[in-house]
Amino acid sequence: MAMEDKHNLKDNKELQPLLVFGPPIIFPTFEAQNSHNYRFLKAFSSQDPLHQFLTEQKVDPSSIQAILCNPAQKVSADVIRFLPSLRIIVTTSAGTDHIDLVECSRHSIQVACAAGDHAGDVADMAVGLLLDVLCKISAADRHVRKRGPSMPLNVFFGSKLKGKRVGIVGLGKIGTAVAERLEAFGCSMMYNSRKEKAFISYPFYSNVVELAGDSDVLVLCCPLNEETRHIVNREVMLALGKDGCIVNVGRGGLIDEKELVQCLMEGEIGGAGLDVFENEPIVPTDLFSLDNVVLSPHASSLTSDSLDESYKLSAEALQVFFSSN
């Protein structure tokens, strides 16, 4: 082996191993800027089980203290138990449903969310999806591109946003930002949350079915957990009604997706704007032909500003961890 190769191998072994799942969208930048700090173990690039991947990389599982990840790849209890020295998981998402938090708690593993403050970006997407569904912008665009100059006029009839009754499911940072934007359009707001907010004037509903019954639009902004999984089921959709619209910028599992597809195809609800899906990256193909549905590839927080912030927060979290251990 050449001297230079031996030197590089030695340097590579001395770098801190960083296990990467996903990968996060920021990873190419992170790798380029931190190649002198970490040995990147790109588990996302291998189809092999983790133990086999690490064996091939000649890495002792007990040497791994940190994981960088995103929701594209789960950090399961099995993964956590296999890495006895794991002490920090940095995810570039706001949500943590891809990480087994119970197992993390058992092993005193820190979970750091490095998504940054993207509430405004996600709220903008929610409003954009709603406007698109109501005004049939994407459907009209497809029609124009397909039919060209010979198209008939006034084919698509939209619905005005002003005056709509909007139910927010999850009035946290994102839900509040959505409400502020929609109030400017003349919408009336109401909400469901884990508990009633003391200083919020919007009507509070402890029951999502009742919220849907009094709403023209439901916007889902809450985290996904065992309590919120399928919080929007068929009963909620039927309560929302044939003219009702659902916008989901939270997590796909908040909606019973099979029932959603059926209700949309049967005309039981009026439309949907979806940035997230229950079994990502799989999207139900039945939705592709529906003009009352607008689809987005989990992109609500993907602005250049938010990605820059996410990179900085991820780098800082790992730097602070390794400098203190």
Q: Which CATH number covers residue 228? A: 3.40.50.720
Reading the block at residue 137, the tokens are 């912008």
The answer to whether residues 275 and 314 belong to one domain is no
The answer to whether residues 248 and 314 belong to one domain is no
pLDDT score of 155: 66
Q: Which one is catalytic: 251, 257, 259, 278?
A: 251
The answer to whether residues 236 and 128 belong to one domain is yes
Could you give the CA distance from residue 208 to residue 104 in angstroms, rounded to a whole number?
Answer: 31
């390794």: which residue's tokens? Answer: 322
Reading the block at residue 111, the tokens are 């979970």
Could you give the CA distance from residue 18 to residue 40 in angstroms, rounded to a whole number?
Answer: 5
Q: Is residue 300 part of a domain?
A: no
Per the structure, the count of domains in the chain is 2
pLDDT score of 13: 55
pLDDT score of 146: 81
The answer to whether residues 132 and 265 belong to one domain is yes
- Comparing CA positions, the residue from 67, 68, 49, 51 lying closest to residue 59 is 51
The answer to whether residues 86 and 184 belong to one domain is no
The answer to whether residues 275 and 135 belong to one domain is yes
Per-residue pLDDT of the chain (325 residues; tens, 9 = 90+): 454 444 444 455 589 999 999 999 999 999 999 999 999 999 999 999 999 999 999 999 999 999 999 998 999 999 999 999 999 999 998 889 999 999 999 999 999 999 878 899 999 999 999 999 999 999 988 888 887 677 666 667 889 999 999 999 999 999 999 999 999 999 999 999 999 999 999 999 999 999 999 999 999 999 999 999 999 999 999 999 999 999 999 999 999 999 999 999 999 999 999 999 999 989 999 999 999 999 999 999 888 888 999 999 999 999 999 998 7
The answer to whether residues 62 and 165 belong to one domain is no
Task: Please give the model's pTM, rounded to 2 decimal places.
Answer: 0.81
Q: Which one is catalytic: 31, 103, 268, 280?
A: 280
Q: Is residue 173 part of a domain?
A: yes
The answer to whether residues 106 and 203 belong to one domain is no
The answer to whether the Cα torsion of 168, 174, 176, 178 is positive or negative is negative
Could you give the CA distance from residue 15 to residue 91 in angstroms, rounded to a whole number?
Answer: 21
Could you give the CA distance from residue 75 to residue 61 in angstroms, rounded to a whole number?
Answer: 15
pLDDT score of 7: 43
Reading the block at residue 255, the tokens are 């909606």
The answer to whether residues 272 and 287 belong to one domain is yes
The answer to whether residues 249 and 190 belong to one domain is yes
Please say if 251 is a catalytic residue. Answer: yes
pLDDT score of 151: 66
The answer to whether residues 144 and 219 belong to one domain is yes
The answer to whether residues 44 and 159 belong to one domain is no
Domain region containing 94 = 3-117+305-323
